[in-house]
């Protein structure tokens, strides 16, 4: 394996191990515990009229695309 690939795999594994084994949670609040959402069911909206299509990189998807961080690159994550 190329040395830089090995370094990347090791760094990714280090990140996973730190999250699993260390106390990493922040003690600082984001304030969301004080947010109360008001229930508003919108019964006058017809579900059939809702269009969730989105275009991303020139392609159309029926639902919005969500891209999140990935742990790929280390065989120990399987």
pLDDT digit string, tens, across residues 7-35: 888 888 898 899 899 998 888 999 999 99
In a domain, 57, yes or no: yes
> Is the model's pTM score more than 0.85?
no
Please give the structure tokens belonging to residue 50. Answer: 């809702």
In a domain, 56, yes or no: yes
The DSSP bridge partners found for residue 54 are: 61
In a domain, 32, yes or no: yes
In a domain, 75, yes or no: no
Give the sign of the dihedral formed by CA 47, CA 50, CA 51, CA 52: negative
Domains of the chain: total? 1
Write out the residue range of the structural domain in which residue 25 sits: 7-61
Quick one: CA torsion of 8, 24, 17, 74, rounded to 10 degrees? -40
In a domain, 66, yes or no: no
pLDDT digit string, tens, across residues 46-57: 888 899 998 989
């Amino acid at each position: 394996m190329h040395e830089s690939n090995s370094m990347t795999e090791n760094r990714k594994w280090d990140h996973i191990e730190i999250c699993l084994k260390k106390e990493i949670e922040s003690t600082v609040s984001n304030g969301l515990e004080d947010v109360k959402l008001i229930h508003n069911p919108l019964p006058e909206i017809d579900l059939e009229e809702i269009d969730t299509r989105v275009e991303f990189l020139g392609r159309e998807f029926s639902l919005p695309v969500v891209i999140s961080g990935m742990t790929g690159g280390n065989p120990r994550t399987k």
